[in-house]
Amino acid sequence: MAQAGETLLHRWFEEVWNQKRASTIDELLADDALGHGLIGPDGKEVRGPTAFKPFHQHFCSAFPDIHIAVEEVLQDGDRLVARCSVTGTHRGSNLPMAATNKPVSFTGICIVRIEDGKIAEAWNNFDFLTMYQQLGMQLS
């Protein structure tokens, strides 16, 4: 199971984020998966592929060249931790600011729980403060 879980996690970041394949979301994310730390337009945490896809599209529109490198994966039973590096260029205007065309580089940690070969739950902690600072956004 260890190799299968790590392969699934690498596929998630490579295909969903780097290649922007929406069909992989349906393949790897459970119908009722809960994305802790990912807030949808309704102000609630994202649940399942139907809610995750608009979040994904929104972020990919802001950073069309987004690239997430999985630096390390650790596993304990049905949970995996991925330490990631994120790069991209802010070319879209769907953040709280117009496109800046500035590059960003930040890190993050994602913990996922795998159930029946799919991501059933994920805890996301990415350094969006650094991202916003690199874009020149004044935070109070």
Task: For residues 127-140, give the mean pLDDT.
Answer: 88
Residue 55 lies in a domain: yes
Residue 54 lies in a domain: yes
Which residues contact residue 137 at a Cβ distance below 8 angstroms, ignoring those fewer than 6 apart? 96, 97
Residue 29 has pLDDT above 80, yes or no: yes
What's 41's domain CATH number? 3.10.450.50
pLDDT at 71: 97
Number of folded domains in the chain? Answer: 1
Which residues contact residue 41 at a Cβ distance below 8 angstroms, ignoring those fewer than 6 apart? 54
Residue 139 lies in a domain: no
Residue 103 has pLDDT above 60, yes or no: yes
CA distance 45 to 41: 9
pLDDT at 113: 97
pLDDT at 30: 98
Residue 74 lies in a domain: yes
pLDDT band at 97 (very low <50, low <70, confident <90, very high): confident
Residue 21 lies in a domain: yes
Residue 124 lies in a domain: yes
Q: What is the DSSP string of 5-72?
A: HHHHHHHIIIIIIIS--HHHHHHHEEEEEEEEEEE-TTSSEEEHHHHHHHHHHHHHHH-TT-EEEEEE
pLDDT at 95: 79
pLDDT band at 137 (very low <50, low <70, confident <90, very high): confident
Residue 140 lies in a domain: no
pLDDT in tens, 37-68: 888 778 889 999 999 999 899 899 999 999 99
**pTM over the 0.75 mark:** yes
pLDDT at 140: 66
Query: Which amino acid, 12?
Result: W
Residue 35 lies in a domain: yes
Task: For residues 119-131, give the mean pLDDT.
Answer: 95
**Domain that residue 127 falls in:** 2-134
